[in-house]
Each structure stands twice: as C-alpha cells, then as structure tokens.
Amino acid sequence: MKKVLGISAFYHDSAAALVIGGKIIAAAQEERFTRDKHTPDFPVQAVKYCLEEAGLELNDLDAIVFYDKPLLKFERLLQTYYSFSPKGLLSFLKAIPVWINEKMFLKKMIHEGLAEVGTYDKKQVNLLFPEHHLSHAASAFYPSSFSESAILTIDGVGEWCTASIGLGKGERIELLREMEFPHSVGLLYSAFTYYLGFTVNSGEYKLMGLAPYGNEHADQTKEFITKIKSELVDIKQDGSIWLNQKYFSYATGLRMVYDHKWKELFGVARRNEDSELEQIHCNLAIAIQKVTEEIVIKMAKEAKRITNSDYLCMAGGVALNCVANGKLLEENIFKEIYIQAASGDAGGALGAALAVSHMYFEEERIIDYKYDQMNGTYLGPDYSEKEIQSMNKKTNANYRKYEDFKDLTAFVASKLADGNVVGWFQGRMEFGPRALGNRSILGDARNPEMQKKLNLKIKYREGFRPFAPSVLAEDAREYFDLKADSPYMLIVAPVKESRRMKLPNDYNDLPLWERLYQQRSDLQSITHLDFSARVQSVYSETNPRYHALIQEFKNQTAYGLVVNTSFNVRGEPIVCTPYDAFRCFMSTEMDYLVIGDFVYTKTEQIDWENKEKWMVKFKMD
C-alpha cells in the first residue's frame, strides 16, 4: 500500500492530506494550527499532524505531491503580461521578482518546508506535480460513491485552466474540455466580491449570503443582469464564457476591476468594507448570483452531453456556491451529484494525493455505494481526556464532567431550547470550510432572536449573514424541499411552504433590516429572506454524538434540527484545540461550552465578565 502526502501552499488555504492504499487517513488546513486564516505558508503543522495520525515519518512515504504545476503558472504569468503590455508594468515589477526569487525555485521551497518536519531521502521519496484542475477533479471523483461520472471543476485559475469537464472511470480521470485564463467564472464572481466591499478569496460566501436581500424582480436587478451579460461576460451555449478585459484589471493590475468603468456601467461606486449596505448593493449581488447560476447549469448540461453520464462530481471554489448547487439539482440533469466538501485549494492537497495514488501508483479504488470516502470530513485531529484536563488546569476552568452521554445530551438540549448558545467541540476536526458538528456553535432554529444574537454577540460579524441548520437526515424533508442529501452543507433548499408565514404586501419595499427581522417561518433563525436554507443533513453513522444531541433536542421540542455555525469569531479560523475553544468561548457571549464530556458554564468561570482578557485580534475577512 503506497503512502502519499498531498500538499497545497503558497497561494491561500494551505493544507496537507495523507492517503494510504487509496484510503484517506488525515487532512487538515494549516490555518487551524497557526491561527492565521487562509494562510499561504507551507503547511508544516498540517504535515506533522497527518504523519502523526498514521505513525509515519517522511522517509516512510512513497510520494509527496504538490497540487499544481508552478512552471506552467509562471508561463501563464509571463504570457499574460506580454499580451497586455504595456499595461501592468507596476504589477509586473511587483510579481516577477517574487516568482524569480521564490516560486521558480518551488522544489527548493518545498524541501525547506519539509525540513521543518523532519529529514528524508529525496532520492527515495518521489516529488510529483499534477495539474491544478486534475487535483480538483480527483478530490471529488475518487472519494465519491460513483464508479463512473462526469466531473466539473470551476474556480478562479489554476495554471491556465479556469474550468474543466472530465470523465472518471474506475481509477482513471480524463479531462475532456478546459476553459483558459483570463476567462473565468471564479474571477468574475470575485470581481463582484471586490466591488461590493468584501475580500477576494474569502468574502465570496458573503456575496452569496447578501444576494437574497436583492429583489430579483426589480427593474434595477433586471437591468444589472442585462448589463453584466452584454458588457462584462458573453455566455456561450456550452457554458464557456468570454470576459471583456476592458472592465477587468486582475490580469495585469493590483486590483480586480477598473473601478471607474464599473461605476459608469452600474451607476454605483465601489463599496468600502465598512460602508452601509444599500438596496442597490443587494440588487447587484443577486444579479451576479443569477448569472453565475446560469453559467454553472450550462456547464453541467455540456458535461452531460459530452460524457452521457448519469452522475456528476464537482470541485473548485465555485462548487462552494451552495445556492448554485441547489439550482443545479432542481434541473435534474443528473441522477446524482457529488460535491467535494473541501472544494477550494485546501482540497487540492487531498486531490493531488488521490490522483497520484490511483493514476501513478495504480492503487485500486475503494467504492462504497452508500457512503463516500470522506469520513464525514472528520479528518483532522482529536484530543484525549488527558489533553482536555491539561487545558482545564492551564485556564483554571470550572467544569462538570458527564459520565453518561445521555445525561449530557439531555442537559445541552434543554439549554438550547431555553435560548442559550452552546459551543460544541467533539472528536476529529472537520476538513474544509464548514463546521459540521465537531467544531460548531449551536442555537435553537425556532428562536427569532437567535440569528441576531449569533451575528452580533457571538461571531462579531455583519448582521445580514445567514445561518445554517443541522437537521436529522431522516427528518430533512419535513422541513425542506430537499432533492438530495446534503451532508456537507453544500446545498441550499427552500423551506417547506407549510412552515412559512404570510408576509406583508409591502415586504419587498421594506428597508433591508426590517425585512431581515420580519417573521418568515417557524424556523426563523435559519430561514433566509428568500425562504431558503443552507442544509446539513446529519447521519448517525458518520457523527453519532451530534446526531444523538439533535435527536434529544427533538425529543424535548419536537424539532429535529438546530442552528449550526462554525466555532470561531470573524477573522479567526475555526477552532482546533480545546484551548482555542475555551478562549473563543470566554471572549464571546456564548453561554455554555461542551468539549467531549466536559461542560463549562460561562457564569461559573473565574472573571467571566472580562471578555477582553481572552480576546485575540484577528484580521477582518
């Protein structure tokens, strides 16, 4: 059985993943260990963790795999500057020295990073470089339950490729179609992320969350969609696009777009990060969301046409657009769709390792036709009772330890039902951008104040941001019109009509914040303005403790779902260790914390009102 370590680094979301004999053993993002969100640094700590999880050293590996081909990327950079010259001189002078001095010697940088992990024989361990979009494709196809499927990858840009259609069969993947830079769905969406005041490569999900505040049927929104499709992007029937570089500066500039040209086109200036959100911003957000959905659906139809497959696997950053995923499901193009939970660059580390395991070493695929191979994404570190007790001593924490898990779930469920917010820390940490019940903050979805409380008093983030429900998988269709299971919170589905409340006739004309706090359903805190929700279906087989907690909440309230948001504050990565969890708990207005079988009550902690003592400043994302 070949042992393969995958690595992504030097751009954003550095990560490491370990595959042995085609089986995923461990995977984690470097940010969780260093507490630097979206860090591009070489994933020293993540590599150490993966090796420790398997009891290996670097010399035990058969291959170390980097997730893309840096020399192809450098070729694209040079050719782009040449094609656009004399534009981009300032950017050229900034970027090229970095490439020449550092990234041209990427092998050396990888060896230097690995030297911080341990020593190894470079002649014995292969260092390999698959292409970026092959890594994405492999990350989705190989863990899936499909023996054969179409594969669609969409992101910003890899080396040259920005989107691809492939076909997976058994152990092989063939990429059949590619779209190339500078024409990119991911960069188009990121351009709007930038223009609406959010951070590129981290704020795209905020843009997606803002879109439902827009009025899809307003004349202004329709005009925006028309202008996007007539001036910015030409959408072909097969889903490929052509971007009008007259409006974009990402190819050679230091910004995403030419601000003055966009202001002239849309009649609104670029929004600053801290500026007030207005209806025009919301309408622009829903306009680009609708255009993105159209493109993704056309690409999926083309994938169906050229592969004739009944199944589709998806990866790449755009595959994290769960609203588009929900719309794609509604089209019924494929019998089933599988989306990689870690679809961004972090998942590229896993895909690179899987590609080499199956295509280079020809390891046989392990296919379970009921469950995928991602282990619920619970691929990160867990912590022993001894390590939790060590944290208790370090922090002088007051706690109660439950010997019977049923008693623990009964207590936590009752506190959630009473309107309390609970930090829930269990088992192995999730891999990917979503907290799925092991590093989560929980609340009562029925509580109409919960959305506001979580945003303003717990997460310290923008008040418009929506929250997701974790629902018992067997109960999901009682609450949502869900056309497929959604274990990784990657599908947005409508809240069932029977749970909705009648809105006032002037609802769409109300100010943004009045609409937000208007009662919309009996699941107010997870029902977005358009009656949608980003659903996580929870299975007893993959997360028995989380499932048991929600089941107990159902026993007490008759509702088999809770609010689930990631265990962190704005700008901070999701917590990794028990100490990370306790510090975050103490620095917010969270009411209770559960770590394993240990329960911490805020008002029982020493100096519990002094949140500033525990606060850490993170760069806002």
pLDDT given at position 466: 86
Residue 431 carries which DSSP code? S
Whether residues 320 and 404 share a domain: the answer is no
Pull the structure tokens for residue 493: 């589905």
Confidence of residue 617 (pLDDT cuts 50, 70, 90): confident
The string of pLDDT tens digits covering residues 188-225 is 999 999 999 999 988 999 999 999 999 999 999 999 99
Q: Quick one: pLDDT at residue 115?
A: 95
Regarding whether 51 and 167 lie in a shared domain, the answer is no
Q: 344 and 433 in contact (C-beta within 8 Å)?
A: yes
pLDDT of amino acid 255 = 84
> Please, is 467 exposed, middle or buried when counting C-beta atoms within 10 Å of its C-beta (0-12, 13-18, 19+)?
buried
Quick check: 307 and 146 in contact, CB under 8 A? no
In a domain, 87, yes or no: yes
Contacts of 55 (CB under 8 A, 6+ apart): none
Q: Mean per-residue pLDDT for 311-339? A: 97
* Model pLDDT for residues 377-408, shown as the tens digit of each residue: 999 999 999 999 999 999 999 999 999 999 99
**Domain stops at, among 319, 339, 359:** 339
pLDDT of 52 above 60 = yes
Six-digit token string for 150: 């179409």
- With a cut of 70, say whether residue 80 has pLDDT above it: no
Summarize the confidence of residues 402-420 as an average pLDDT: 98
Cis peptide before 469 (omega within 30 of 0): no
Mean pLDDT, residues 257-283: 94
Residues 90 and 149 in one domain: no
**534 assigned to some structural domain:** no
Q: What is the DSSP letter of 222?
A: H
pLDDT digits (tens, 9 = 90+) for 451-505: 989 988 888 888 888 899 999 999 999 999 998 999 999 999 999 999 999 988 8
Three-state secondary structure of 160-207: CEEEEEEEEECCEEEEEEEEECCCCHHHHHHHHHHHCCCCCCCCHHHH
**425 beta partners:** 439, 595
Q: List the end-to-end C-alpha distance of the chain, in Å, as a whole number.
A: 41
Beta strands in 206-351 (DSSP E): 233-235, 241-243, 311-315, 336-339
Q: What is the pLDDT of residue 183?
A: 96
Number of domains composing the chain? 3
Taking the alpha carbons of 532, 538, 542, 546 in that order, is the dihedral positive or negative? positive
Q: Which two tokens stand for residue 303?
A: 């994938």
Split at pLDDT 50, 70, 90, the class of 96 is low
480 domain-assigned: no
d(CA 276, CA 256): 22
d(CA 28, CA 535): 23
Return d(Cα 60, Cα 499) in angstroms, integer.
56
Instruction: Name, of 70-84, 136-150, 504-518, the range with top average pLDDT.
Output: 136-150
- Of the candidates 202, 179, 214, 197, which has an alpha carbon nearest to the alpha carbon of residue 289? 214
Q: Among residues 237, 211, 213, which one has the least CA distance to residue 323?
A: 211
Burial 394-432 (b: 16+ CB within 10 A, else e): ebebebeebeeeeebbbbbbebbbeebbbbbbbbbbbbb
Which amino acid belongs to residue 464?
A: F
Please check whether residues 553 and 446 belong to one and the same domain: yes
* Choice between 621 and 169, residue whose per-residue pLDDT is larger: 169
CA distances from 118 to 10, 67, 128 (A): 20, 21, 19
Question: Are 137 and 162 found together in one domain?
Answer: no
Give the pairing of strands 311-315 and 336-339.
parallel
pTM here is 0.94
Query: Is the pLDDT assigned to residue 311 strictly greater than 60?
Result: yes
Query: Which of 246-260, 506-520, 594-608 is predicted least confidently?
Result: 506-520
CATH of the domain at 222: 3.30.420.40
Q: What are phi and psi of 507, to 5 degrees?
A: -55, -50
Residues 124 and 161 reside in one and the same domain: no
Handedness of CA 469, 473, 479, 483 (dihedral sign): positive
Instruction: Report the distance separating Cα 472 and Cα 469, nearest Å.
Output: 10
Other beta carbons within 10 angstroms of residue 477's beta carbon come to 14
On whether both 161 and 100 belong to a single domain, the answer is no
Task: Let me know if residue 533 belongs to a domain.
Answer: no
Same domain membership, residue 440 and residue 424:
yes
SS3 string, 297-327, reads: HHHHHHHHHHHCCCEEEEECHHHHCHHHHHH
Pairing of strands 422-425, 592-595: parallel
pLDDT of residue 407: 98
Alpha-carbon distance of 354 to 17, in angstroms, equals: 9
pLDDT at 566: 97
* Residue given tokens 């993959």 in the structure block: 542
Q: Which range has the worst mean pLDDT, 35-39, 201-205, 560-564? A: 201-205
- The verdict on residue 295 lying in a domain is yes
Predicted confidence (pLDDT) at residue 89 exceeds the cutoff of 60: no
Residue 573, domain CATH: 3.90.870.20
Mean pLDDT of 263-285: 94
- Asked if pLDDT for residue 251 goes beyond 70, the answer is yes
In the predicted model, is pLDDT for residue 91 greater than 70?
no
Percent of the chain clearing pLDDT 70 (strictly above) = 94
The dihedrals phi and psi of 167, each to the nearest 5 degrees, come to: -135, 125
Q: How confident is the model at residue 93 (pLDDT cuts 50, 70, 90)?
A: low
What distance in Å separates the CA atoms of residue 474 and residue 610, rounded to the nearest whole number?
A: 42
What integer best gives the mean pLDDT of the chain? 93
Residue 563: beta bridge partners? 443, 469
Residue 103, pLDDT score: 62
pLDDT at 524 over 80: yes
pLDDT of residue 104: 61
Q: Among 50-54, 61-65, 116-120, 376-380, which stretch is predicted with the lowest mean pLDDT?
A: 116-120
Instruction: Give the separation between CA 77 and CA 67, rounded to whole angstroms.
Output: 18
The number of CA neighbours under 13 Å toward the Cβ of 112 is: 10
- Determine the Cα–Cα distance for residues 123 and 609; give it in Å rounded to an integer: 57
DSSP state letter for 142: T
Mean pLDDT score, 303-323: 97
Distance CA 458, CA 461 (A): 8
Residues 553, 467, single domain; the answer is yes
Amino acid at 593: L
Residues 582 and 441 in one domain: yes
Rounded Cα distance between 321 and 492, Å, is: 9
Same domain, 134 and 179: no
| Type of residue numbered 297 | I
Q: What is the mean pLDDT of residues 229-236?
A: 98
**For position 470, what pLDDT does the model report?**
98
Is residue 469 one of the residues assigned to a domain?
yes
209 and 266: one domain? Answer: yes
pLDDT band for 363, please (50, 70, 90 cuts).
very high
DSSP letter, residue 440 = E
- On whether residue 506 sits in a domain, the answer given is no
| The pLDDT value given to residue 441 | 98
- 161-169 and 148-154 as β-strands: parallel, antiparallel, unpaired? antiparallel
- pLDDT digits 0-9 by tens, 570-604: 999 999 999 999 999 999 999 999 999 999 999 99
408 is a domain residue: yes
By residue range, what is the domain housing residue 14?
1-143+343-370
pLDDT, average across residues 512-531: 90
Instruction: Considering only residues 555 and 87, tell me which one the structure prediction assigns the higher pLDDT.
Output: 555
pLDDT at 78: 63
